[in-house]
Amino acid sequence: MHNIPTMNEVHTPAYGTLGEPITVLHPAASATEKERIIAFWTVYAMHNCWGVALGMQANEAARFTESFAPLGDCMVRFITALSNIITLEMTLLESIRSIFVTHTLAHTASLRLNAILADAKEQSRDKCLAAALAIVGLTKEVDIQDFQQINPIIGTFWVSACQFLIGEVSRLRTLRPIWGTESMSDEKEKELFAALEQCFGAMVIFSLDCPLISYQLTKIQHDFSRLN
């Protein structure tokens, strides 16, 4: 599918060595096409890897998680060892952008790994929530509008966080009759809604120039609207 050029590409007329007309992609169009190809294959690879784990039965997932416990510990150490974005004010913008994506990737990996048993283990669900909120929190620690551009894969990470947060809101609402109307459930829901709005705002910034993030934003906002 990525081999099909976009309809809005700008072409510059040129001629070959024998005088025959040839078509040359405008540099901007070529860059856009490259961005889409990279985004497609990255998402495709991640889907295949995570799909194997998420498609397991509960007991298989338990064994899977136990066997990958060292990986979870490794991710925690990796996240802890990453440079603090807040202390990078004097660093080149390109470096800050790369570290921002790396932080987000690490938290997304933690989220997806723990999501395997999130429905069965409260500890796993808590880790998922912490990871999702950390993903959103990163968008507050730096002025992402200064980035101007960003790796399109970041949209997939944000969607993962939003999907979990939306699911958590739905879960809390099922518990509301047990906890009562004026309860911790209401306060938690407000926190989750605020996080979702923050993440939507981040996606809006890059949706104007990135078709993938634009599509993802529309889809996740549709899922969010079904809560109301």
Domain end position, chosen among 35, 55, 75: 55
Query: Domain check: are 47 and 155 in the same one?
Result: no
37 and 77 both lie in a single domain: no
- pTM of structure: 0.67
1 and 66 in a common domain: no
Nearest 5°: phi and psi at 156?
Answer: -65, -40
- Asked whether 162 and 199 are in contact (CB, 8 A), the reply is yes
29 and 80 housed in the same domain: no
**Does one domain contain both 24 and 70?**
no
How confident is the model over 97-143, as pLDDT tens digits? 888 999 999 999 999 988 877 877 788 899 999 999 999 999 998 88
Q: Which of 181, 180, 185 is nearest to 169 (CA)?
A: 185
Name which of 77, 100, 78 is nearest 88 in CA terms. Answer: 100
One pLDDT digit (tens) per residue for the chain, 228 residues: 445 444 444 444 444 444 444 444 444 445 556 556 665 665 555 555 555 555 555 566 567 656 767 777 887 888 888 878 777 665 678 888 888 999 999 999 999 988 877 877 788 899 999 999 999 999 998 889 888 889 999 999 999 999 999 999 998 888 776 666 555 667 888 999 999 999 999 999 999 999 999 999 999 999 999 887
93 and 25 in a single domain? The answer is no
Full residue range of the structural domain in which residue 116 is found:
57-225
**Number of domains forming the structure of the chain:** 2
Contact 139, 199 (CB under 8 A): yes
Residues 198 and 136 reside in one and the same domain:
yes
DSSP of the chain: -TTSPPTT--EEEEE-TTS-EEEEE-HHHHHHHHHHHHHHHHHHHHHHHHHHHHTS-HHHHHHHHHHTHHHHHHHHHHHHHSPPGGG-TTS-HHHHHHHHHHHHHHHHHHHHHHGGGTTT-HHHHHHHHHHHHHHHHHHHHS-GGGGS---THHHHHHHHHHHHHHHHHHHHHHHHHHH-SSSHHHHHHHHHHHHHHHHHHHHHHHHTT-HHHHHHHHHHHHHHHTT-
